[in-house]
Amino acid sequence: MKTTALLLCICALFTFKAQAQTFRGIDKSPMDMAYYPDDYAHDRKFAPDKIKGETAKVRVIYSRPALNGREVVGNLIPIGKVWRVGANEAPEIKFYEDATIMGKKVKAGTYALLAQANEQSQDMTIILSSDLDQWGAYSYDPKYDVLRVNVAGKEISESVENFAIQFAKGNDKEVLMRMAWGTGMVEVPIVF
């Protein structure tokens, strides 16, 4: 009788422990990563024998919220307030070497990527902050700003459902960091 009771207790304990180890579902704004060159990470993972010797210049880790029928500017992106670019934790942008963004020097390193939508247009102020590991932009403090630049916004023909960041080759030595959501996009020129 005592052996049966002990076995029942052990079984109940294991059942309870197994139930306690469930995992939550996928985040509503899944995390993503963008590199320049764009195929840097993919080539090394899937075709290491085809690498052309180019090293990574920049990487962004960010979350990708969805429109779900909502308006972007003024609703999902607040006008006149600093916004984390994406969702959840403020994105991190890592420069593997020194860079120049719109004539302003940025040292190699990792920064929080934030933005501020301008009230009169689709233009944005892009902000790099040395204050990492912040949730959203709720604790944003301008004393940690490393860079602030204004970039022009433009309309794109095809709507982007989930916020997206991609890098593309610009003209000459320029790399463009493209951020798009809905039918709006900004391009941030970077020179390495």
Q: Does 5 map to a domain?
A: no
| Per-range mean pLDDT, top range of 18-22, 26-30, 99-103 | 99-103
Identity of the amino acid at 120: Q
Spatial contact of 188 and 174, defined as CB atoms under 8 Å apart: no
Q: Domain total for the chain? A: 1
23: in domain: no
Cis peptide before 189 (omega within 30 of 0): no
Strand partners, 174: 191
pLDDT single digits (tens) 145-191: 999 999 999 999 999 999 999 999 998 889 999 999 999 999 999 99
One-letter amino acid identity for 173?
A: K
Residue 16 lies in a domain: no
- The whole domain housing 39 covers 28-191
What region, left, alpha or beta, does residue 109 occupy, with left being phi > 0 and alpha being psi -120 to 50 degrees?
Answer: left
The pLDDT of residue 4: 54
Q: Provide the pLDDT for residue 23.
A: 87
Residue 13: inside a domain: no
Residue 58 lies in a domain: yes
Residue 102 falls within a domain, yes or no? yes
Residue 22: inside a domain: no
Residue 57 resides in a domain: yes
Tell me the helices (H) and strands (E) count for the chain, helix number first.
Answer: 2, 11
Give tens-digit pLDDT for 101-128.
Answer: 999 999 999 999 999 998 766 789 999 9
Task: Please give the Cα distance from 82 to 103 (Å, whole number).
Answer: 22
pLDDT 10s digits, 37-87: 876 655 455 444 444 556 889 999 999 999 998 888 777 888 889 999 999
pLDDT (0 to 100) of residue 77: 85
